[in-house]
Structure 1
Amino acid sequence: MTHQPQFAVVTDGGLDAFPDLRNGVPVAPFSLTFGTQNYRMDEITREWLFQELQRNPAHPTSSQPTPQDWAEAYRAAGAGGLPVLALTISAGLSGSRNAAEQALALVPGVDVTIHDTRTLSAAQAFQVHAAVTAAERGESLETALAWVRRTHEETELYFTIETLEYLRRGGRIGRVQATLGGLLNLKPVITVDKEAAIYTNVGRARSYKGAIEAVAAQVTARHGEGTPLRLGLLYGSVREDADALLAAIRARHPVVWSGFAGVNPVLNVHTGPRALGVAAAPGNWVWER
């Protein structure tokens, strides 16, 4: 049974999209700059980025979407005259939400609601999936926002990285470095703080293999051993890292859904090539209960 959607969904380049989730929405892309060269996220691949990080002496910087980028996404989504729900990466991590608000002046004919996901990556993907599911079912924008908020409340995002160097260079390290002190060879376990919606360190390990176990242990500590979970697994340059994390979590939890996504190039610039993460939430999706 098909329903008439009452709104459309857009998001930004903070999203790591999963093929098995409803993540196929217009995206306001972030961009990368290497020296004097600027690239939009939709123009580059992960493989290109990994090669460039090895051969290019310039350290890349990332830029939030411009108001024009957001306006294009709004127009694409609202082409049928529908209101638009825009889900942004956490305003604590990027100025994208600010650009999304500035873009409203560029699309006077489109009715836009902006919602800060207060997270990013796979956890943002879960919220986009909730919003698009609501739209496809003909639910109201209010119902979609309720599902998105509940999805946020129950979803935790944890990740680890091989080196803190990229977070440090990108100026994103703040509370993480403060917690780890000068021990830059330790592998941190990082989450997005639910209150402040910024990165904070919740664990550490001496080896990368230990860090994978530490991420799995955080998931169990948060959700309780034996709780059935949905898992959005993320990987940087080493796909097998995500398989190892899935196996570690499976040892303690039934997994009701799992999907894999490569960390997008703009986020990978901050983590460094070898990175691993997971968005974990309990049981079925909120609308399946």
Structure 2
Amino acid sequence: MEKIALITDSTSDMPKDMVDKYNIKILHYRIIYKDREFIDRINITPKYVYDNLDNEIPTSSLPSIDEMEKLFKSLQDQGYTHAIVVTLSGGLTGILNGVKLVSENYPKIKTYIYDSKSISMGEGMIVEECGKLIEKGASFNEIVNKLPSLRKRLHLYFVVGTLEYLKKGGRIGKVAGTIAELLNIKPIVAIDISDGKYFTYDKVRGRKKSLSRIVEIANNILKTKKCRMCILDGCALEDAKKVFNDVKENQNVTSASFGGDISPVAGLHSGPGLVGLVLFEEE
């Protein structure tokens, strides 16, 4: 009989009740300052990161090999036969290689690592669907085969307050930088599922228009699709609440959740002012 473990990382922004419900194992990124180091979502808050950005922009690091080893050793000791790992987009991180390396030390656990080509609750919603399938008794192979179709049902867009931090972190991908800043151009950013990197889906001038455009994009998708919706923010609570309230009124929103802050490690790369929209199509 299969005993399937479900693993993701701390950038998935999954609420604790969901993590507990589906017994999801979390690998934690690290945030490194010159004289101190923190574990994402464990001993550092998003507010701490934002409050200190003017003094120092820290670097981020993958979950430690030691943490991965301890997790797989624990799974083996608990009798898990299989593991499904859903990670942050491979276009933004090297976590896939780290997990693959460690999982090979545990051949008794058949492990499948899936690149979500997404971030935050985009990644999290794929994990949630896997949890539902495990709960229903789906087999390892059934879940693995379904992952690409889950990804196709996902829509994620976000805006940031400034492109400064995406530029400094080298994660700007195909998003226009300096000239856009000078002209107060606010790109609507999405992730290219071909390479998992950010690209400019659309661009408008000014913050207010960028938030309105996010709502418009949502409503256009919801014209033909019934979707679950989640809104998250990075030090932009009031703007996020407004977008949330505007989108949730759409009759094709089947459920709406306000996810709150994105993870500290994601926040240090996006900087303050992020508002993110995630829609997941219902079957």
Under a length normalisation based on structure 1, what TM-score does the superposition of the two structures give? 0.87
Once the two structures are overlaid, the 10-residue window that deviates more, 6-15 or 65-74, is 65-74
Partner of residue 52, structure 1: 52
**CA deviation map 1:86-107 (0-9, x unaligned):** 1111111100101111112443
CA contact (8 A) 1:10 1:87 kept: yes
CA contact (8 A) 1:236 1:263 kept: yes
SS of equivalent to 1:182 = helix
SS of equivalent to 2:190 = strand
CA contact (8 A) 1:5 1:138 kept: no
RMSD: 2.2
- Alignment CA distance shift 1:142-1:34 (3 Å): same
Partner of residue 16, structure 1: 13
**CA deviation map 1:150-186 (0-9, x unaligned):** 2211101100001000101101113102xx6612132
- For 2:33 and 2:207, the matched residues in 1 are separated by 28
**CA deviation map 1:112-140 (0-9, x unaligned):** 22121121211100111011111112210
SS of equivalent to 2:91 = coil
**CA deviation map 1:231-252 (0-9, x unaligned):** 1211111222222112332455
Matches within 5 A, 1:113-192: 113-177=112-176, 182-184=179-181, 185-192=184-191
SS of equivalent to 1:128 = helix
Query: Match of 1:149, as an amino acid?
Result: P
Partner of residue 111, structure 2: 112
Shift of 1:108: 4.5
Query: Match of 2:272, as an amino acid?
Result: P
- Alignment CA distance shift 1:102-1:155 (3 Å): same
Structure 2 spans left out of the alignment, 5+ residues: none
Query: Match of 1:27, as an amino acid?
Result: I
Query: Match of 1:63, as an amino acid?
Result: S
- For 2:104 and 2:146, the matched residues in 1 are separated by 28
Partner of residue 69, structure 2: 71
Partner of residue 281, structure 1: 280
Once the two structures are overlaid, the 10-residue window that deviates more, 67-76 or 26-35, is 67-76
Partner of residue 91, structure 2: 92
- For 2:35 and 2:254, the matched residues in 1 are separated by 46
Partner of residue 267, structure 1: 266
Does residue 236 (structure 1) correspond to residue 256 (structure 2)? The answer is no
Query: Match of 1:7, as an amino acid?
Result: I
Shift of 1:39: 1.2
- For 1:21 and 1:258, the matched residues in 2 are separated by 15
Shift of 1:201: 0.6
Residues paired across the two proteins, number: 276
Once the two structures are overlaid, the 10-residue window that deviates more, 69-78 or 89-98, is 69-78
Matches within 5 A, 1:27-38: 27-38=26-37
- For 2:70 and 2:105, the matched residues in 1 are separated by 9
- For 1:21 and 1:215, the matched residues in 2 are separated by 26
Query: Match of 2:120, as an amino acid?
Result: S
SS of equivalent to 1:14 = helix
